[in-house]
């Protein structure tokens, strides 16, 4: 399986994502934001970080990068595109997934482990994951997902919510919501479910001696689903 990770000026999880993808069998290429063409890929990842220093609005400038037109075309033709953290912020700025990401409710950066419940498994990202609940890791300042009531209705009608913040037993309640996101949303799909944006960093959870190993589950499953 071939993957591409886009490096924007200010990306800082691009290497971590490269390490994770290779570990689970992807042949990964790093792609520079100023390039015009994507290499042939089965998966394109927009990594975490602070593209363009988060100036103007997180993800807004990166969404206008030269490479993004190819990424958008790739997504619109059904290609798998995953945005993690800042990558999620870039995705909402392109409009590939609905909604916006506001500053965290308590106005502070949060770095910690959280639990997320998989809401939908009829997609190539989460199909065949045995667990209902995964332990993931977040590290962000602007992860507070927000959208209009109409958008929310559409998202729910299409089953576009990918994962919700919850407790270890999968209970979705306000007290397990780390950043104030509407409906505890931690990740969301486009309508066709080939584009996934999520705040948690599975690439940081690929070894027992790190924050945990549920990221391994995610990647192993992902490559199998793409085969």
Partner 1 sequence: MIVNEQVAVDHGLKKDEYAKICELLKRTPNITELGIFSAMWNEHCSYKSSRLHLKKLPTKGKKVIQGPGENAGVIDIEDNDAIVFKIESHNHPSFIEPYQGAATGVGGIMRDVFTMGARPIANLNSIHFGSPQHKKTKNLLRGVVHGIGGYGNCMGVPTIAGQTSFDSSYNGNILVNAMTLGLVKKDKIFYSKAAGLNKPVIYVGSKTGRDGIHGASMASASFDEKIEEKKPTVQVGDPFTEKLLLEACLELMAGDSIIAIQDMGAAGLTSSSIEMASKGNLGIEINLNKVPCREAKMTPYEIMLSESQERMLIVLEKGKEEHAKKIFDKWNLDFAVIGKTTNSKKIELYFDEEKVADIPVNTLVENSPMYDRKWKKAKLPKKNKIKKEDIKHLKIVDVLKKILANPNICSKEWIWQQYDHTVMGDTIQKPGGDAGVVRVHGTDKAVAASVDSSAVYCWAHPLTGGKQVVCESFRNLISVGAKPIAITNCLNFGSPENEENMGEFVECVQGIGEASEYLKFPVVSGNVSFYNQTKDEGIKPTPAIGGVGLIKNYKNMITMEFKEVDNLVLVIGKTEGHIDQSLFARNILDEKNGPPPEVNLFNEKNNGETLLKLIDNNLIKSAHDISLGGIITAVAKMCIKGKKGISIKKPKYLINEIEYLFAEDQGRYIIEINKKDFKKVADILDKNAVHFDELGTIIENELHINDKTKVTIDELLTSNKSWLTNYMSK
Q: Which of 21, 49, 101, 125 binds partner 1 (CB under 8 A)?
A: 49
9 binds partner 1 (CB under 8 A): yes
Cβ atoms of residues 146 and 102 within 8 Å: yes
Helices (H), 136-186: 149-157
What's the min distance (Å) between Cβ of 55 and partner 1?
Answer: 7
214 binds partner 1 (CB under 8 A): no
- Chain positions 188 to 207 lying near partner 1, rule: CB under 8 A, are 201, 203-204, 206
Cβ atoms of residues 63 and 94 within 8 Å: yes
- Distance separating alpha carbons of residues 143 and 180, to the nearest angstrom: 8
- Distance separating alpha carbons of residues 53 and 118, to the nearest angstrom: 31
To the query of whether residue 156 is one of the catalytic residues in this protein, the response is no
Residue 31 bridge partners (DSSP): 6
211 binds partner 1 (CB under 8 A): yes
Binding segment for partner 1 (CB under 8 A), chosen from 14-22, 66-74, 144-152, 158-166, is 14-22
The one catalytic residue among 85, 135, 140, 147: 85
Q: Which of 6, 13, 44, 166 binds partner 1 (CB under 8 A)?
A: 13
- Distance separating alpha carbons of residues 104 and 89, to the nearest angstrom: 13
Q: Which residues are catalytic?
A: 85, 201, 203
């Amino acid at each position: 399986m071939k993957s591409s990770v886009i490096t924007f000026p200010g990306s800082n999880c691009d290497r971590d994502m490269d390490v994770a993808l290779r570990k689970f069998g992807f042949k990964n290429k790093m792609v520079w934001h100023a390039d015009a063409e994507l290499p042939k890929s089965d998966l394109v990842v927009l990594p975490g970080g602070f593209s363009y220093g988060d100036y103007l609005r997180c993800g807004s400038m990166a969404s206008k990068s030269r490479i993004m037109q190819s990424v958008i075309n790739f997504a619109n033709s059904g290609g798998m595109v995953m945005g993690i953290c800042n990558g999620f912020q870039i995705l909402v700025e392109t409009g590939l997934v609905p909604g916006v990401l506001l500053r965290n409710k308590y106005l502070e950066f949060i770095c910690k482990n959280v639990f997320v419940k998989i809401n939908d498994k009829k997609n190539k990202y989460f199909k065949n994951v045995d667990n209902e609940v995964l332990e993931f890791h977040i590290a962000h300042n602007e992860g507070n997902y927000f959208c209009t009531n109409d958008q929310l209705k559409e998202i729910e009608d299409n089953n576009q919510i990918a994962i919700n913040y919850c407790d270890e037993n999968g209970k979705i309640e306000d007290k397990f919501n780390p950043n104030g996101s509407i409906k505890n949303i931690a990740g969301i799909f486009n309508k066709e479910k080939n584009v996934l944006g999520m705040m948690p960093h599975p690439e940081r959870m690929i070894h027992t001696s790190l924050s945990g190993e549920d990221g391994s589950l995610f990647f192993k499953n992902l490559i199998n689903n793409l085969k």
